[in-house]
Each structure stands twice: as structure tokens, then as C-alpha cells.
Amino acid sequence: MTAHVLYLAVSAKDGRCAWSWRRVSGGPFADGTGTDPWASPYRLRLHAMLDGLQAVADGEAVEIVTTDPNTIRLFEEWLPAWRTQGFRKKAPESWDLLEALLPHVDRVPLSFRLQTSRTGDFHAKDCSRHAKQAAAAMDPPEVRTAGEVTVRDDVEVVAWTDGGSRKNPGPSGWGVVLVHLPTGTTKLLRGGDVESTNNRMELTAVAEALASLTRRTHVEIRTDSRFAIQVCTEWLQGWKRRGWRKADGEAPVNLDVIQRLDGLLVQHTVRFTWVKGHAGEPGNELADDLCNRAIDAVLAGGSPDSAERLEAPPFTILRGGR
């Protein structure tokens, strides 16, 4: 028998991001809210779930009520699979929160209910209202990236690219942060697809960065994808010489994107730099944020495509790197 029903709600707009939960235990109920500037709705739901489970005693069953089907898939499908694999692949998004949730997943029997409408459910309506109120009360947040990065003197444009999917394949997105160093003009680009793979999105991000350049230039692509770098700097030319075939005679996966990259790479002087993901490099963090916003838009049924222009990058870029 379910001892508690835990409602989750989030509100995210222009960096004002908040979460709310309501835990109903028979007649009595308890509420909680919190904020996390620039967080994705996915991350906010994890916040709400983690906070709402804190006071639940071991062994007491909890029904999680959410409007997001992928939150349900995360805990019923993806997380068990990742645990079986020993989390051998790239750490899941918001790993800090998922890791904190794992003990609760083990100690509390969980079930999930997808709520397609809040009509007639005052608990759900209150929970949603509390999240919106918490977000509205926030001070305007600064862009979450900060710090500095050093690039070579001969680079005119630096672009950070990132791509990913919530399941591989699954709802996917890419993000690009592109800075014209002489002027500081910065472009923030993002896009996505209903179903694609991590690798395709990583390659697409590089292609979109290069396609956005309006004239021949010296550009540095900074990415945490070794795969994308190897495709562009090692494998592509060999595949091309063999008539777009790998050594085993099979066509490369994502050949359309690879051939697009082949045409774009020759238009510029391109240098690739690998950066460690989620390690604090500001451009990489912002590209990751754009990627996740695109995925969130896909999941919400909206358009993931967006292009924004800034007069200066939201972090410091130093010259003189090697």
C-alpha cells in the first residue's frame, strides 16, 4: 500500500529556475521548494524528488506524480540499465543528484504516475503554483558560466560544441558557443531532434559551428568529444579515399553529417582541442547548457532551434595559448 504521494513541479524561464514538491501522506501534506539558476527542468525534477524523499522512512512506499514521461523512464528503465553496466559510459547528466538519489531508490519502494492534466487535482495545482512563485521571487541570475580560458594568438574564432541525447538513441540536442575574438561578438546556437544519438549530435554541433561562419577564418573547435575530433582529423579522409567506406567495407554511420563536415572543413583553417567535459571550462559548460535546453524543448514538444547574439562572451578569453 502506498504510504505517500509525492508531486513534483518545476518552473524554468530566463535562468529563473525553481522546483517544488508536495508530499501527501493520507490527510496531512508537506511542501518544499528550492531554486537552481539556469538548471534544466530535468535537473530541477531531480532536486524536487531528492528533497521530497528526505523525510520518508525506510520501506514506506511512495508514488511519484510527474508530468514528464522521461522522469519515469529514467527511474524505471535507464537508471537500472546504467547500474547494471556499472556506469561505465559517460556519467549521466546531473550525476551529482542522481548519485544522491540512489540510496533513496534502494530504501524506499517507488512507483510512478504520469499526470497529463492537473485539472481537478488541487495538490498538483498548488505544487505547480509554488514552483512558479519561487522562480518569480528569484533575483535575475547572472549567466552561470564564469572564469577564463586561454586560446592561441593565431585563432580568430573559437567555438565550443557539445551534443548529447537523454537515451542513446533518444531525445537529443546540440549546442554551440562561438566567439569572434577581434570583436567579442558571441553566438549561442542550439538545435535538436526527437530521436538521435550522442555521436550524431556531437558531429552536428561541429558542423553547425562551421556553417555559421560567414567567411574563411582560423577557427579553434573546443569539444569534449574525442569521437568528433577523430572523425574530423583522422578517419574522414580515409573513408573518403575508399569511396566513403570503412576498412570493413561498410558505410560510416551518420554519413550525411560526415560528408557535410568534409565540405565545411576545407573552407577554414580548423584546429581541434579536446577539453574535459563538466570540468569547469566556461565555454564547454555553456555549450552543454544549450544542448540540454534543446533536449528539454524537444521533450516539451516545442522547437529546439535557437540563435542568440551577444556583444561579448559571458567569460574572459585570454590570448597567448599554444
Q: Tell me the domain boundaries of the chain.
A: 4-136, 148-321
To the query of whether residue 36 is one of the catalytic residues in this protein, the response is no
To the query of whether residue 162 is one of the catalytic residues in this protein, the response is yes
* From 52, 163, 175, 192, active-site residue: 163
* Cell 558557443 -> residue: 177
CATH 3.30.420.10 is the classification of domain 4-136: yes
pLDDT score of 3:
86
| Side-chain-facing half-sphere of 206: CA atoms under 13 Å | 34
Closest CA to 75 of 39, 50, 110: 110
Residues 6+ apart with CB under 8 A from 118: 67, 124, 125, 128
**pTM for this prediction:** 0.60
To the query of whether residue 288 is one of the catalytic residues in this protein, the response is yes
pLDDT score of 89:
56
Q: Are 201 and 225 in contact (CB under 8 A)?
A: no
- CATH class of the domain defined by 148-321: alpha beta
| Fold agreement (4-136, 148-321) | yes
* From 104, 218, 268, 278, active-site residue: 278
To the query of whether residue 224 is one of the catalytic residues in this protein, the response is yes
* From 68, 162, 220, 296, active-site residue: 162
pLDDT score of 128:
96
pLDDT score of 144:
47
pLDDT tens per residue across all 322 residues of the chain: 678 999 999 998 767 889 999 999 987 899 999 998 877 788 899 999 999 999 999 999 999 999 998 899 989 988 888 888 777 655 566 778 888 999 999 999 999 999 988 888 999 999 999 999 999 999 876 544 456 677 777 789 999 999 999 888 899 999 999 999 889 899 999 999 999 999 999 999 999 999 999 899 999 999 999 999 999 999 999 999 999 999 899 999 999 999 999 999 999 999 999 998 877 788 998 999 999 999 988 988 888 898 888 887 878 777 665 5
To the query of whether residue 96 is one of the catalytic residues in this protein, the response is no
To the query of whether residue 278 is one of the catalytic residues in this protein, the response is yes
DSSP one-letter code for 298: H
Instruction: Please state, in angstroms and rounded to a whole number, the distance separating the CA atoms of residues 233 and 65.
Output: 47
Length of the chain: 322
